[in-house]
Amino acid sequence: MSDSSILLISADDEVATNVTSALEKIEKARVSRESSSVSQLNGAAVAMAADHDVVIFATDPSNAADLTAIELLTDQRKPGTIYLALTDGDLPLSKARALSRAGVDDVLPYPLSNDELVMQVNEMLAKKRAEFTESFSGAGARNGHLFAVQQARGGVGATTIAVNLADQLLNRKGAFKKEAGNKVVIVDFDLQFGTVGDFLDVDQQEGLLQLASENFIPDAMWIEQSMTRLPSGLAVLAAPSSFVPLEAMQPAQIEGLIKTLKTMFDYVVVDLPRALVNWIEPVLAETDQLLIVTDMTVPAVRATRRLMEFVLADNAQLPIEVVINHEKKPMILREHHREAAKALDVTFHYWIAHDPKAAREAVDYGKPLSEVSARSDIAKGIALMAKSILTAFPKERAEVRV
């Protein structure tokens, strides 16, 4: 099980000392303090609080300013975040209800014993985790599709395609195309040199570093807390900022992560590392379609063939599409196009035009092409690819590959 982060909000040093000493007895808990009363929190602190598993604060429910501040605090809650109020033990029922209406999950009398506080927090954590995990099982579970993007050679542009494919799979609806029609996540499994987070201007994430460092199988709660959600609706699980040995990840961890992601999202896009490590196999076993990004140079075509042979040796039924990057689809295939298709025994369906200006602009702004240069040839090519994938793999019908 992953660590739990607990935030204590208190301007009273005595309360902070007593509560912190108790919370430190909770196994795998990281405790931090905001030295302020709840009513004096600034906007940045309110937003930061939502990134914790548990937020504990001392309050006087008779104070209208406190109640207003609590409402603002709980309005920022993320799935699974628990808000606990510490208040006088003789609190009238009406005051307790006022705190509940403000969004507080439970009201704890203060002072209370260390053991009782630890027990209450542990029970709330277990309950919330179980509830959240249950919401993605049974009738609440999605049966998502997974698309793995693999580069045939370094620098071919696989990450550009992965990021913008994920963005297009959102299939935005509405008059201004702002409402995501699908739930989509992109995962950067290039643990050492992954740049998905940079492409989307996502703050550094250390979730995959924690997964590689600790021997646990991630559940829905851990995934939700480790991801960043963009205003577009796209969820991002970026590579860590620290260097991680590829072999540090275990196949069982990756299998658990992928299977859980598919219950949470309609579409999962994975940006794979170029190195073919042992935990790639669980990804391929759950993949609906492997997209190999290449170009028409002879070395790249040869690398594509070797990669296809390696993958198909253990995954003979895995559908593979070869994406030709940096080249617009020609009206008539030239001789080297036909020779490449023959060598790979495929038909090239996806061609992405060479448009370095648009690609560079999107990277510099940390936004997908749809928000920066939607009319560029590269954006149009990826949009057509996404449209084809959405048609071939509708979210209502996810099939299991044997």
- pLDDT interval class at 277 (50, 70, 90): very high
Contact 80, 224 (CB under 8 A): yes
Within 144-229, strands assigned E span: 145-151, 184-188, 228-229
- pLDDT interval class at 1 (50, 70, 90): very low
- Distance, in Å, from the CA atom of 269 to the CA atom of 350, rounded to the nearest integer, reads 17
The sheet carrying 106-110 orders its strands as: 29-34, 4-9, 54-58, 82-88, 106-110
- pLDDT interval class at 397 (50, 70, 90): low
Give the pTM.
0.77
Q: Does residue 31 register a pLDDT over 90?
A: no
Q: Does residue 402 register a pLDDT over 50?
A: no
**Structural domains of the chain, ranges and CATH numbers in brackets:** 4-134 (3.40.50.2300), 143-392 (3.40.50.300)
Q: Looking at residue 294, what DSSP letter applies?
A: E
- Distance, in Å, from the CA atom of 260 to the CA atom of 255, rounded to the nearest integer, reads 8
- Distance, in Å, from the CA atom of 83 to the CA atom of 100, rounded to the nearest integer, reads 10
The lowest-confidence range among 60-74, 90-104, 119-133, 354-368 is 119-133
- pLDDT interval class at 138 (50, 70, 90): low
The two structure tokens encoding residue 196: 């998905």
The two structure tokens encoding residue 307: 């990669």
Q: pLDDT tens across 328-370, in order?
A: 999 999 999 999 999 999 999 999 999 999 999 999 999 999 9
